[in-house]
Amino acid sequence: MNKFLRTLIPTDIAKGLSVTGKHFGQVFFTANRRKVPFHIVGEYPEVPAKVQPRYRGRLTLLKDEQGEIKCVCCLACEKICPTQVITIEKGKMEGRKMPFPVRYDFEMERCIFCEFCVESCGFDSIILNHQFELAAYNREDFSLGTKGTAQNMFELSPVGKYSVAED
């Protein structure tokens, strides 16, 4: 009898319709106005996509407060790299005690983003940043170094403006 009544009076269907109707109203009326939107999808690329803080992006050389490269050419990263994408040429600079990398080449097309180089670095002079838009139009653009303006290892890549991380 109970089952018969439940079949006759569509309360379950009404319950389902109320749930989806609530979702519709929330998204439809607040999608453009609310600071924390109800819809659960991202709006990449109009809104930068959030990545996790542990995300392993492109290798980046860090600089200290004086604007000098922190790297001291201990070659630990070059030795531990499984795919041998890092090439460092040791050199000297005026007014600096520690060795200075004249060349620090990074072939991104072969990099596997394992982060061994960052772990092996004793001076905290390199990190993997939070950038996942690593595409480029030319193969040469994947050969990064300390020289150049467009593809160097100090800044984000020119296409990578839409990814952020909370940390």
Partner 1 sequence: MPTPTLTQSIVITLIQCLLVVIFVFVVVPLTVFAERKVLGHLQMRLGSTRIASGHTGLSGFLNRGMWKMGKVPVLSYWRGIPGLLADVVKLIIKEDIIPDKADRFVFFLAPSISMVAAVVVFAAISFVPGTFFTFPTWFPLVGGLPVSGGIADINVGLLWILGVATVGVYGIVLAGWSSNSKYPLLGGLRSAAQMVSYEVPLALSLLAPVVLAASLNFTEMATRMAVGMPIWALVPQVIGFLLYLTCGFAETNRLPFDMPEAENELVAGFHTEYSGMKFGLFYLAEYINMTVVSALASAFFLGGPWLLPFGLQGLLNPYLPGFLSWFGEPHAIFFVAKIIFLLFTYIWVRGTIPRYRYDQIMAVGWKYLIPLALVNLLLAAAIRCFAV
Site map (CB under 8 A) of partner 1, residues 29-68, x = contact: --xx----xxxxx-x-xxx---------------------
| DSSP string of the chain, one letter each residue | -HHHHHHHS-HHHHHHHHHHHHHHHHHHHHTTT-SS-S--S--TTTSPEEE-TT----EEE-B-TTS-B------HHHHH-TT--EEEEEE--TT-SS-EEEEEEEEGGG-----HHHHH-SS--EEE-S------SSGGGGEEBSS-SSSBSSS--TT--SEEE--
- Does 7 bind partner 1 (CB under 8 A)? Our answer is yes
Shortest Cβ 31–partner 1 spacing (Å): 7
Total binding residues toward partner 1, as defined by CB under 8 A: 25
Among the listed residues 2, 3, 5, 13, the single contact to partner 1 using CB under 8 A? 13
Q: Which residues of this chain interact with partner 1, rule CB under 8 A?
A: 7-8, 10, 13, 16-17, 19-21, 23-24, 26-28, 31-32, 37-41, 43, 45-47
